[in-house]
Amino acid sequence: MTQMLRPSAARGNADFGWLKSRHTFSFGQYFDPDHIGFGALRVINEDRVAGAAGFPAHPHKNMEIISYVVSGALEHKDSIGTGSVIRPGELQRMSAGTGIAHSEYNHSDTDPVHFLQIWIVPEADGLKPGYEQKAFAGRQDTLRLMGSRDGCNGSLTIHQDVDLYGSLLSADKSVNHDINPGRKVWIQVIRGKLTANGQGLEAGDGLGLLDAGPLGIAAQEDAEFLLFDLAA
């Protein structure tokens, strides 16, 4: 099976003091022509924001923006009147569509917040801006569907042909996933160590799988990861 390994240490790096960010794909001032994105998956930024700090209000258009908190709490406000706090185990999807402004701040004045911000190109421009947030239990030692095009099985609705799974995989446990013809998969490891079809992966590593076939994921130690199943 054809693989595209993206080691953690090879990612782009930004350090602003209050923000430390690693970029799986080209973002901002970091540009790598070999890593622009993976199909409709455009951005995976792993951000750590100091207490009382954050991103002031800024605009977006025509993007599905997904926030996944690893630890701490992230406070969100936007121009369509939404205000919320995102905590571990929750996923937020904001459809920027025709235009939206939002801010993201660490909800704590003292403790850091660690989160992933994910951008997915929508299937159409000019969508109505919108927002959705849910808590997801039942991720332990299984692949839990957290986002999908049709919002099935209690998942968030993502306006693109993508299924987003999350898992908390205990040491020595494994899960399986079939990559169907016309699909490809990206795995992003958040913490721990695992193998994907025999390829060793650690925290911060990403792996693209480009061919149809069975996929087996096994944890060498307790691990947390996301799996994106996308149109090839």
Domain boundaries, the chain: 12-135, 144-231
pLDDT in tens, 201-230: 999 999 999 999 999 999 999 999 999 999
Assign 112 a pLDDT band (cuts: 50, 70, 90).
very high
One fold for 12-135 and 144-231 = yes
Residue 163's pLDDT is 98
pTM (two decimals): 0.97
Q: Which CATH architecture best describes the domain 144-231? A: Sandwich (2.60)
Superfamily of domain 12-135 in CATH is Jelly Rolls (2.60.120.10)
Residue 1's pLDDT is 85
pLDDT in tens, 58-89: 999 999 999 999 999 999 999 999 899 999 99
Alpha-carbon gap, residue 150 to 146, rounded angstroms: 11
pLDDT in tens, 4-42: 999 999 999 999 999 999 999 999 999 999 999 999 999
pLDDT in tens, 159-170: 999 999 999 999
Q: Helices marked H in 8-161 — which ranges? A: none
Q: What is the DSSP string of 39-56?
A: TTEEEEEEEEE-TT-EEE
